[in-house]
Amino acid sequence: MKLKAASDLKQNGAVRVIFIEDKSIQELKCGIKNKNHGGIPVDALSYFNGDINEVALIPGRQNILLCGMGDASKLNPESIRNCGASVTAAAMDKKMNELAVVIPEIKNFTREQTLRYISEGMALANYRFDRYKTSDTKGEKPVEKIVFISSSKNAQSIIHRTEIITRNTFLCRDMINDTSDSINPVSFAESAAAISKKSGLKCTVLNREKIESKKMGLLLAVNRGSLIEPRVVKIEYRGDVENPKVIGVIGKGITFDSGGMNLKPSGSMETMRSDMSGAATVLCVMKSLAELKVKRNVTAVIPLTENMLSGNAYRPGDIYRSYKGLTVEIGNTDAEGRLILADAIAYMEKEVGPELIVDMATLTGACVVTFGETVAAYLSTDDKLASVIESASSDTGEKLWRLPFFEDYEDRMKSEIADLSNMSSEKNAGTIAGAVFLKKFVGKTPWLHLDIAGTAWYSKARGYRPKNATGYGLRLLLNMIENWK
Ligand code: BES
Ligand code: MG
Ligand code: ZN
């Protein structure tokens, strides 16, 4: 898909897109003309109310796609993005190749904001995962070119940013949607190295031997049941060389979560190729930082393994020694994410020494039970970090809610025979339990844990986020890094 900014309407062959509030439709129907809506034949509007996300095609010398915005004074950034998504869905459905979008003036928003939200919504919705469809079954194709007509003088740079964010969100979705047979720890690490090289990022891959010599015992324990080697990918971006401070980001990279000996039942395992969503998101954030030349220093650590079962798989009741030195009793082999993250966090703190650590993980089913698919959970040891992620969230529309680290929860991760257990002694508050386990592996570094179990993968499309991999968290983490001071 190509995105472009232009200042005039000379787009031959493109379908013109016009956003319109319901009030203006009434005026048009009464014969009151508004210069922005010139060219719309009033009689074509008889069934169109201008309700939010209502789309109509008006055929003519130049075809017009009309998109209602409802009561424009009630719009917010997310609802504007989703108006954009409605247009893209209609355009894909009607097999339109090229759109020329007239950016409307919306009260309470600057022209720049409106352009940003509409371009993001339209572009992020223009996605299909059809890698495995042979030609006759491919179905709808994404729109090829979208030109945004705006008088804003920053239009070029806004569209440039939307383009980078969209391309990387699509890469992230593709990696998550792709099969575990194709994206395994070894191939993920190879892709990460290739992407890093192309983007000018420094990438180091730790293979099994290196992971053994570093004594990452928890990652190795989870890997035991798998025929494929584990990997740890470290990616370094230095956008502010005079500044010694580094931000540390970690993504859970379980390329398939069968549950291990505590095997998942049918119905719970089918989508577990998405258990590397945190890893893919972190990789794509690093790529975005480099392409946007963000003035920050960031190091990513991505632990990668499958969680499989075999004669050599790790067992409930086993005890393993972590990179940090703490011993862990395995209460449940399906609580594997916290194990690989524990080693990654301790490694990050010791060998990178960042000023803060953010980890992103599809960690608990309990998170989906609590918040559903549209809201992520986070816990943090640092209120400043929490406030920066909150404002990033309101800017990007990637919703989240904070859960507490009350002392009441500390006891539940105790083990009788090891330093701690990976399984809570109580069934409830599962998302907090996972985070409480992780916290034992964090030293003094301010830390934030984001559980994206619900938001990374949708059971149905919603607005500009498609069914299956959503790419949730890429814009959020990017925005957070840009705004951290
Ligand atoms: N990857 C899963 C969590 C998950 C569940 C992600 C549903 C996305 C959708 C994780 O490894 C897991 O299996 N967690 C267990 C933990 C439990 C055994 C303590 C869970 O949530 O059931
Ligand atoms: Mg699991
Ligand atoms: Zn998992």
Residue with tokens 């005026």: 27
The confidence score (pLDDT) of residue 13 equals: 83
C-alpha dihedral sign at 437, 441, 447, 452: negative
Q: What is the pTM of this model?
A: 0.97
363, 426, 438, 451: residue to mutate for ligand 1 pocket, most atoms within 8 A of CB: 363
- Quick one: which atom of ligand 1 is closest to the CA of 259? 13
Taking the centre of ligand 3 as the mean of its atom positions, its distance from the CA of residue 342, in whole angstroms, is 13
The tens place of each residue's pLDDT in the chain, 485 residues long, gives 999 999 987 767 899 999 999 999 888 888 766 655 656 777 778 889 999 999 999 998 889 999 999 999 999 999 999 999 999 999 999 999 999 999 999 999 999 999 999 999 999 999 999 999 988 777 889 999 999 999 999 999 999 999 999 999 999 999 999 999 999 999 999 999 999 999 999 999 999 999 999 999 999 999 999 999 999 999 999 999 999 999 999 999 999 999 999 999 999 999 999 999 999 999 999 999 999 999 999 999 999 999 999 999 999 999 999 999 999 999 999 999 999 999 999 999 999 999 999 999 999 999 999 999 999 999 999 999 999 999 999 999 999 999 999 999 999 999 999 999 999 999 999 999 999 999 999 999 999 999 999 999 999 999 999 999 999 999 999 999 999 99
CB within 8 Å of 337: residues ≥ 6 apart: 252, 254, 257, 275, 361, 362, 363, 434
Lining residues, ligand 1, CB within 6 Å: 257, 275, 332, 334-337, 362-366, 368, 423, 430, 453
The answer to whether the beta carbons of residues 213 and 351 sit under 8 Å apart is no
Among protein residues, the one whose CA lies closest to atom 3 of ligand 1: 364
CB within 8 Å of 8: residues ≥ 6 apart: 149
Structure tokens at 52: 């939010």
Active-site annotation holder among 338, 412, 440, 475 = 338
C-alpha dihedral sign at 86, 92, 96, 99: positive
Q: Between the CA of residue 186 and those of 174, 177, 336, what are the distances in Å? A: 17, 17, 19
Q: How far is CA 278 from its chain centroid?
A: 8
Active-site annotation holder among 23, 264, 315, 399 = 264
Taking the centre of ligand 2 as the mean of its atom positions, its distance from the CA of residue 385, in whole angstroms, is 27
Alpha-helical regions (H) of 205-307:
208-213, 217-223, 277-292
Distance CA 204, CA 348 (A): 13
C-alpha dihedral sign at 366, 439, 318, 260: positive
> Taking the C-alpha atoms of 8, 10, 14 and 20 in order, what is their torsion angle to the nearest 10 degrees?
40
The answer to whether the beta carbons of residues 356 and 447 sit under 8 Å apart is yes
252, 256, 263, 334: residue to mutate for ligand 1 pocket, most atoms within 8 A of CB: 334
The confidence score (pLDDT) of residue 42 equals: 75
Is residue 273 annotated as part of the catalytic site, yes or no?
no
Neighbouring residues of the ion ligand 3, judged by CB less than 5 Å:
254, 257, 275, 337
Task: Tell me which residue of 36, 11, 284 sits closest to 144, measured CA to CA.
Answer: 11
Q: Which 3 state secondary structure label does DSSP give 81?
A: helix
Alpha-helical regions (H) of 148-299:
155-177, 185-199, 208-213, 217-223, 277-292
Taking the centre of ligand 2 as the mean of its atom positions, its distance from the CA of residue 308, in whole angstroms, is 10
Among protein residues, the one whose CA lies closest to atom 16 of ligand 1: 335
The confidence score (pLDDT) of residue 40 equals: 75
Is residue 111 annotated as part of the catalytic site, yes or no?
no
The confidence score (pLDDT) of residue 140 equals: 86
Taking the centre of ligand 2 as the mean of its atom positions, its distance from the CA of residue 336, in whole angstroms, is 5
What structural domains and CATH numbers belong to the chain? Answer: 2-151 (3.40.220.10), 178-483 (3.40.630.10)
β-strand 247-251 against 297-307: which pairing, if any?
Answer: parallel
Alpha-helical regions (H) of 19-68:
22-29
273, 274, 364: residue to mutate for ligand 1 pocket, most atoms within 8 A of CB: 364
The confidence score (pLDDT) of residue 194 equals: 98
Taking the centre of ligand 1 as the mean of its atom positions, its distance from the CA of residue 334, in whole angstroms, is 7
Q: Give the residues across from 55 on adjacent strands.
A: 67
Report the interhelical angle of 474-483 vs 155-177 (nearest 10°).
130
β-strand 356-361 against 247-251: which pairing, if any?
Answer: parallel
Taking the centre of ligand 3 as the mean of its atom positions, its distance from the CA of residue 334, in whole angstroms, is 7
Q: Residue 370 CA: which ligand is closest?
A: 1
User: How is residue 39 annotated by DSSP?
Assistant: T
C-alpha dihedral sign at 232, 235, 236, 239: negative
The confidence score (pLDDT) of residue 28 equals: 82
Task: Tell me which residue of 344, 340, 169 sits closest to 254, measured CA to CA.
Answer: 340
> Taking the C-alpha atoms of 210, 215, 217 and 218 in order, what is their torsion angle to the nearest 10 degrees?
-70
Distance CA 480, CA 485 (A): 10
The confidence score (pLDDT) of residue 30 equals: 80
